[in-house]
Amino acid sequence: MNQKNIHRYVLLFTGATLALIGVTYCIDPNLLLARYELSVAGASEDNMYRGAYGGLFITTGAAIAYGFYTDAFRQVSTIVALLFMGGFAIGRIASILALGIPHQQIVGLLVFEIVSSAVFIWLLLSQPVKKLADQS
């Protein structure tokens, strides 16, 4: 498999995974929260989980997966993926520094986010830079 196809499938996998996580949070936030010994406490908290983890994950996942289908958007999808995964890693590290180590599975997510960010950096650096106008 060549590097272009590896890039495409990494974007598809990441985008689809994020979208499925988002759909699960929209259906019932407690389905995933229970894995981390958490639960939704009320309507406002439910709304926050369904909006942020649900809706935001679905739409960001779709934007990332779009790079699988469209050469012109691949670089942008990769940047979105890097910012999304890197942003989660930054937030989790800030939380660890502030309050200590969370649930073991959350630490696993942090490791995944750091590795994913490194992969997206590698994908960006291993390609020639294209201007958006050149990608059409």
Over the stretch 36-90, which tens digit does the pLDDT of each residue have?
888 999 999 999 999 999 999 999 999 999 999 999 999 999 999 999 999 999 9
Q: Assess whether pLDDT exceeds 60 at residue 135.
A: no
- Angle at which helices 3-27 and 74-99 pack, to 10 degrees? 60
Query: pTM score, two decimals?
Result: 0.89
**Extents of the domains making up the chain:** 3-129
* Torsion-angle region of 40 (φ positive above 0: left; ψ -120 to 50: alpha; else: beta): beta
